[in-house]
Amino acid sequence: RTGSVVLVGGGPGSDDLLTVAATKALATADVVLYDRLSPHSHLADLAPHAELINVGKRPGHHPTSQSEIERTMIEYAAAGSRVVRLKGGDPYVFGRGSEEVIACQAAGIPVSVIPGITSAVSVPASIGIPLTHRGISHLFTVVSGHAPLTDNELEHLAGLGGTIVVLMGIGTLPHLVSGLRRFGAPGDLPVAIVERGFSPSQRTTTSSLDAVVQDAALAKVASPAVIVIGEVVRLAYDGDAEAHILLARAELLARVD
């Protein structure tokens, strides 16, 4: 029989945040290729009949190349296996999912995608940070920090306002901060760095745009982490009186509107 490939978004790492469709796909899989940031600690229970293949990458260490991942899942599917490609977050949010779909289509392999809960939204929410709030932020931008942004990108990002969410951005944080400040972002703009979201060792460092590079160094923050920049950071669960003042001002503005 002809096999198939399904790309499954595993969410931010907790088994509880897998979708129903994701658990069904895993339960019937013959082969699972999983990432480092996908929920894999109980994968043998979630995919009891599957061969489990770790293709995870760490920053600066890629034991399995992207082309090899694509070749492996195509070979298994061509031999008749139901292949699940389990990815952290959502396959189409900095997950290279579209590349894998294109590779399957080019090889004539049936392929589908099950969306996942992206860490860009869920990890800030885990500490009470809403990416939008009436009167405070009516938009958010999700940015990859894997490589430094250009001056043109930084200028537009600073000018947009709202909330900025950065994934894979610890290494390029100094460049991002200096660029945003250079193009007009205020130095007292709140920043939160949430490390290892939804894991037992989750940790949050809060700061401001002017101080975050130093504070991050002192706290020894490390990937994986989600960086949130914007006034909504003040609304986190451990927010102080400033958060209540901000909310009151936002509600007043909303009533005026």
Instruction: Give 202-254 pLDDT, tens digit per residue.
Output: 999 999 999 999 999 999 999 999 999 999 999 998 655 555 555 655 555 55
Set 15, 24, 57, 215: catalytic member: 57
168 as an active site residue: the answer is yes
Supply the pLDDT for residue 246.
58
Residue bearing the bigger pLDDT, 46 or 64: 46
- The residue with greater pLDDT, 60 or 198, is 198
Q: Examine the pLDDT at 57 and tell me if it is beyond 90.
A: no
What pLDDT, in 10s, does the model give residues 65-116? 999 999 999 999 999 999 999 999 999 999 999 999 999 999 999 999 999 9
Could you tell me which residue, 198 or 245, shows the higher pLDDT?
Answer: 198
Helices (H), the chain: 20-27, 43-46, 66-78, 97-106, 119-126, 151-160, 173-182, 212-219, 241-256
pLDDT in tens, 102-141: 999 999 999 999 999 999 999 999 999 999 999 999 999 9
Tell me, yes or no, if 35 is annotated catalytic: yes
Distance in angstroms (rounded) separating the CA atoms of residues 247 and 232: 10
What's this model's pTM, rounded to 2 decimal places?
A: 0.89
pLDDT digits (tens, 9 = 90+) for 138-154: 999 999 999 999 999 99
Is the pLDDT score of 256 beyond 80? Answer: no
Q: What is the pLDDT of residue 237?
A: 84
**Secondary structure of residue 193 in the 3-state scheme:** strand
90 is catalytic: no
Q: 35, 73, 87, 90: which is the annotated catalytic residue?
A: 35
* Total residues belonging to the chain: 257
pLDDT band at residue 60 under the 50/70/90 scheme: low
Rounded average pLDDT over 188-192: 96
Residues facing residue 5 across a β-bridge? 83, 111
Both structure tokens of 179 = 């660029």
The predicted structure's pLDDT at residue 249: 58
Percent of the chain at pLDDT > 70 equals 89
pLDDT bracket for residue 37 (50, 70, 90): confident
List Cβ neighbours of 31 (8 Å cut-off, separation of 6 or more).
Answer: 50, 51, 53, 73, 76, 81, 82, 83, 84
Q: What is the mean pLDDT of residues 175-191?
A: 97
